[in-house]
Amino acid sequence: MTFNEIIEAIPVWDFLRIGIAGFVCLISYFILYYIISAFVSVLEKRIPKPMAEVVHFFLLYSFYAVVVGVTLNVAGFNIAALLGAAGVFGVAIGFASQTTVSNVISGIFLMIEQSLRVGDVIKLDSIQGRILHVGLLSVELKTIDNRIIRVPNEHLIKSNVTNITALKERVIVFNASSATEKEAKKVLRDAWSRMDLAIKEKEVSIAYSASSSSLVGFSVNIWVKTHNIVLAKSEYIEKCVEVAREQNVALYVSVQK
């Protein structure tokens, strides 16, 4: 049987109902998209944008699946057969994409928990970077050397993640050593008093950390704003060098890792 013979064998009503069903499904998609987009735009004021995108995705395609099913059923199509085929197909896809499903579920939990947000600087294993995007499948990080790293959400859920910028204030710990105890403590305090990036409302803490017959070790804790932490580390060491030279004190200072 040729293609033309097959087409001629199909009643005109079948062509008509297929066309009407297709048209209704197409129009329904755009109507649902507009309505759900308007609803989610209001919802974005109360929940994070990534979470709003997830809500938009699930609402749109859930309602659209219902509309398509009802439309096809009204048009006279056998929905039971379609649902059976869809079920078998869904099971096959589920077994083939277990990792993807795990990442999606992990992504939803990350968005609900809101422990990681766009703009946060996090440390995961040997990776440290600023979050550019939190998606359903992965989180994108930008490292200090300008690399983009994609981390699967499942890995974030299973690993210990340090959110470096979660709090607005942090303590920087410096290690210092000198052969002159009193003079060194004065240098360390004077250097702190000259800092612009230190939080002066919180006093610097200088404690003994080690000692020997010729050297004394100190641990210096300084409070700074989280977004100034990199510059503050450099500033304190510069001030220590400046004051130590003025007061003629031999002093070694480093940032504790």
Write the pLDDT tens digit of every residue in 222-238. 999 988 888 999 999 99
Report CA-CA distances (Å) from 215 to 176, 180, 254, 255.
Answer: 10, 8, 15, 18
Q: Tell me, what's the pLDDT at 206?
A: 92
The total number of structural domains that make up the chain:
3
Please check whether residue 71 is in contact with residue 21, taking contact to mean a CB–CB distance below 8 angstroms: yes
Q: Tell me, what's the pLDDT at 176?
A: 93
Residues with pLDDT less than 50, the chain: 3, 6-8
Q: Tell me, what's the pLDDT at 3?
A: 45
**136 and 186 housed in the same domain:** no
Q: Tell me, what's the pLDDT at 186?
A: 92
CATH number at residue 124: 2.30.30.60
User: Which pTM does this prediction carry?
Assistant: 0.57
Q: Tell me, what's the pLDDT at 7?
A: 46
Domain interval for residue 44: 11-96
Q: Strand ranges (DSSP E) for 72-203? A: 121-124, 127-134, 138-143, 148-152, 161-163, 169-178
> Among the three residues 41, 67, 96, which one is the final residue of a domain in this structure?
96
Residues 6 or more apart in contact with residue 79 via CB below 8 angstroms = 69, 72, 73
**190 and 251 housed in the same domain:** yes
Write the pLDDT tens digit of every residue in 74-96. 666 666 666 666 666 666 666 65
